[in-house]
Chains A and B, each alone.
Chain A
């Protein structure tokens, strides 16, 4: 298609969604604050105004290109308008740039500079702003410009919608429901809202000071670096062809005071190896298929909340971060002769959800601190070292060796590819064929020697994931193993990666990571002899008891909404004597008769002596709607509950307490 831009004829892509994107391709980035190419068009910031055919001034993000149209992108009138918009935004903006997380990376700051706004003709007004600085994702609405990028990323890309606009007019704020702290909501901490926030309204909790404190306190500080981090660091320092970046990172960390630096790609090999065996085992027994990967903590929380029926399908192998954490604290500390309590393990990740993962109680704090790539960049920049001139140093052994497969964990398809590599080593594989089947979803068919075909799906972006899981549920799609990464393009697009973190950058990072991978001499995880040694020394074999103890975990049902239970029949008795019975009053359970159960329970407690110690509560949505009605008795879910079933479980709970009151007390 030919259009005229600023008086010159240009050829634009016929498939362009709108004029803004079309002009991007010909080298004009129209100023914009609310345009995200992956989501629906919002058209709210009005910065992307262009003049069409010499008369109308319209937003280019909502304008469909048409043959022969004439666009002017920068007339004096448009310049004035943009300036006005910026001045209005700045009038209610907390402009304390030096203490802002986004200082130097902020789009608003950049435009203010580019448009020469050294003074503002409007008086500054401050608005009531919600802040949340205790969650992993920090919110400061005084810096919010209401572009809605975070809202759309959360709702449209991730289908979580933990945040939305609330209130109206000047009072409008982006907040979770009832202005709750994010950690108490359905937020999965993928950090995509942070990745897309053009200002400093959303940022990540900075844990750098904790690392310095550990070093100062004389702790044995060990670092480990995720595959995706090196790719974005190369980009951040403008060293895109610098394949030894990882080595330079090791050097800098050692100079700062880290005692050892390991490679999470090693752990990726370990996890792929264990997970492949777990998969082959399930395949043989034909149980809990498809097997879902569990390396991505955002995805894990997503399943726990939305698809609890698939929890048994998750691979029980810990993520690379947590697996290596356990190995270091349990075995390596002994080898070193250092008390595990004196080791501070710092994991460097592209991911915000990894902070959440490290704090999950299942993992007893094996990983002490998680730094995101952006925090690492700050550490590096604050040293003043010219990263180009730092001599690379190899990762420490034994957890420094990795294969190409392990490195590929950083991007979509990497985990699945590694699992396939291990399988190929165990069983003869004839053919491997990968193709895209839906948006963000690839299908890999592995044809085994015996003619059997193993189907693996790799999907990224939780919105795409939801579609895939629903298709698996309905039977429209068949798969044996599914790799899930919550962020678009995988970990390289994680919420902790440097800005900009858009499609263009993510594709570039994938290429950089591939280049880095290609120099690795080991291809399959099975070739990683340090990993094999670990098995020989401690685990014996994959899926052994010891391997289970150290590297496996289990996940739990998690309610989307954290809420107190409703007291229906409170008991005056001491906590240890009573049996808690919570009846779900959610819609599914209600329609399956949970109210009748409640009535019967109350009658039971009034009429029968043994039932006096039942404390009856109302709860709602235990996220097990398929098997309604649900009743929870002392943390045990009784599904498809009848009063008889409840009686049985409650009686057995009472008997258990009578038999061994001490044990039941300590369980409480």
Chain B
């Protein structure tokens, strides 16, 4: 019945003992919980921690880990670091677009997938690489990318 409860936010704040200096940790947990940082939550934690909302907004927009719009259930990070770029990771972006219909920075309408381009995943030996919800997929080819995405789509369909 509660369309939006601050219960979860309170749990997170409690976990970090309402400490100002834990802002980034708190925001990371909120991002994890809601898949984005909702505006009401920014105002809420602003009052709870005694940090002006403008400052929190600055932190959120500075780090790319945080997003103001909901990310997909599956967040795809495609690497555009030097090694991956040289191995043609940008061609894979096109493959992903064909498969799920979104460009980097976008989210599918059903909120299932979101796609982002990142600088380097630190998996240069596996170039070209991508990470989906923390899992690394390396030495990618167009076929492999299609397969991975199709598997995920089916997983939910079951």
Footprint of B on A, CB under 8 Å?
155, 160-168, 175-178, 185-186, 560-561, 563, 566-569, 585-587, 590, 595, 598, 602, 618, 620-621
Contacts and interface: CB of A to CB of B under 8 A. Distances in A.
A165 B60 CA distance: 11
Contacts of A185: 53-54
A161 B57 contact: no
7 contacts: A155-B52, A164-B52, A177-B53, A566-B3, A586-B48, A590-B6, A621-B47
Given A160-B52, A618-B2, A166 B7 contact: no
Nearest to B14: A591
A162 B44 CA distance: 16
A161 B57 CA distance: 12
B1 to A, nearest CB: 6
B46 A561 contact: yes
B13 interface: yes
Interface in B41-85: 42-44, 46-48, 52-58, 61-62, 68
A176 B43 contact: no
Nearest to B63: A168
B18 interface: yes
A258 to B, nearest CB: 40
Contacts of B143: none
B58 to A, nearest CB: 4
Contacts of B62: 165-168
B98 interface: no
Given A177-B53, A595-B7, A618-B4, A566 B40 contact: yes
Contacts of B6: 585, 590, 620
Given A563-B43, A620-B6, A587 B13 contact: yes
A561, A568, A586, most chain B CB atoms within 10 A? A561
A176 B54 CA distance: 5
A178 B39 contact: yes
B4, B55, B58, most chain A CB atoms within 10 A? B58
Contacts, number: 86
A162 B52 contact: yes
Interface residues of B, number: 28
B47 A560 contact: yes
Contacts of B97: none
B99 interface: no
Nearest to B57: A177
Interface of B: 1-7, 10, 13, 18, 39-40, 42-44, 46-48, 52-58, 61-62, 68
Contacts of B47: 560-561, 586-587, 620-621
B7 A561 contact: no
A598 B55 CA distance: 31
Contacts of A161: 52, 54-55
A567 B5 CA distance: 11
A166 B58 contact: yes
B108 to A, nearest CB: 24
A168 B4 CA distance: 31
Q: Which 7 A-B pairs have the closest CB atoms?
A: A161-B52, A177-B53, A587-B48, A164-B54, A177-B57, A164-B58, A166-B61
Contacts of A618: 2, 4
Nearest to B51: A161
B13 A177 contact: no
A563 B54 CA distance: 15
Given A166-B61, A568-B1, A568-B3, A177 B56 contact: yes
B43 A561 contact: yes
Contacts of A602: 1
A586 B1 contact: no
Nearest to A620: B44
A461 B147 CA distance: 63
Contacts of A162: 52, 54
Contact of B44 (A186, A568, A586): A586
